[in-house]
Amino acid sequence: MISPKCLFRNFQLRNFIRPVSPKSTISGNQKDNIINGPDLKDFLKEGASTTIYAGQLKSASGERLRLPPWLKTEIPIGRNFHKLKDSLRSLKLHTVCEEAKCPNIGECWAGGENEVATATIMIMGDTCTRGCRFCSVKTSRNPPALDSMEPVNTATAVVEWGLDYVVLTSVDRDDLPDGGSHHFAETIREIKKRSSEMLVECLTPDFQGNKHSIEMVLDAGPDVFAHNIETVEVLHRLVRDHRAKYQQSLDVLRHAKRHKPTIVTKSSIMLGHGEKDEEVTKTMQDLREAGVDCVTLGQYMQPTRRHLSVKEYVTPEKFKYWQQVGNEMGFKYTASGPLVRSSYRAGEYFITNMLKKKTVT
């Protein structure tokens, strides 16, 4: 395949060097200077992407957009990937990595260069009582009963894997009186019982705004409390289930900080649903006002044709812009990139050092 640089040089030659006749005034040295002159990267700001992509990034009439090159990932392979998969199946555990068809599953499970594998465990089963239009997790009004052994099995697995940072998330269980908060808390306690030094992040549902349920999870001793706002307020009813409310999500995060001021709070925003810049800015401001310490921004990717289509593929440069905005707003940590997810390689994020150094007040 011809590289972008070669294409650009061909463009230079085709548009700036005309066939030289015997009477041409362009010398050989001048032609060499044109050919070997400034390249495209010399006209871009430092750190900007030099990827030339001629494809469409915005959907004008609902057509399906082609995946841009910066969102293409490797096929999952590697010893750690298969080891984790076998371990999960044997203990009857689920991961949001698989259920939500996360594009980073290969990198996280295989562990990358340092082979430090990361997986986000999804507790309370693999069936959700809600039907958000961006999510591929199975849904049902009456999902199976909770597995009473799941807290122990989860703790056994993460300690066996030798992780130093684990993310626990869950489906919504509106069918349960407490939304599953007791089960969530038991899982945290079982992990801490086996490894007190392991950092635990809990990415919770909204528990229908029930403050007692939020407090039950917090009192179990997690190091990070996360709940995702997901999208801007104006698109909330389109993207999420009608029981998930924008202000309710902010109230969950706000109450978590009030109940346990030392806890690190975190939220995530998906881009690509057709949101405007001022709406993203407003959402980030709302999260800061709710006391959120860390925010992640990533690209929404349509899991199947039955789900919401992508309205826009946001460029890497624009994600860098939102990272700068987050830093200027005062978030202690902002992760922003096309493939960033709320729990993507959590153990390697700045948040780990922030917790260990106890810089959060």
Is 97 annotated as ligand-binding?
yes
Pairing of strands 94-95, 120-123: antiparallel
- Cα(159)–Cα(151) distance, integer angstroms: 12
Asked whether 338 and 314 are in contact (CB, 8 A), the reply is yes
Can you give the C-alpha Rg of the chain in angstroms?
24
Is 135 annotated as ligand-binding?
yes
The two structure tokens encoding residue 262: 């030392």
Q: State how far the alpha carbon of 132 is from the alpha carbons of 37, 176, 266, in Å.
A: 52, 19, 20
Is 132 annotated as ligand-binding?
yes
Is 128 annotated as ligand-binding?
yes
Residues 6+ apart with CB under 8 A from 43: none
201 strand-pairing partners: 167, 224
- Cα(16)–Cα(220) distance, integer angstroms: 68
Asked whether 229 and 268 are in contact (CB, 8 A), the reply is yes
Nearest to 317 by CA among 44, 72, 73: 44
Asked whether 60 and 313 are in contact (CB, 8 A), the reply is no
Burial readout 318-342 (b: 16 or more C-beta within 10 A, e: otherwise): bbeebbebbeeeebbbbbbbbbbbb
Is 343 annotated as ligand-binding?
yes
Is 102 annotated as ligand-binding?
yes
Q: Please provide the distance, in angstroms rounded to a whole number, between the alpha carbons at the two ends of the chain.
A: 52
- Other CB atoms within 10 Å distance of the CB of residue 299: 23
Binding residues: 97, 102, 108, 128, 132, 135, 343
Which residues belong to the annotated binding site for [4Fe-4S] cluster? 97, 102, 108, 128, 132, 135, 343
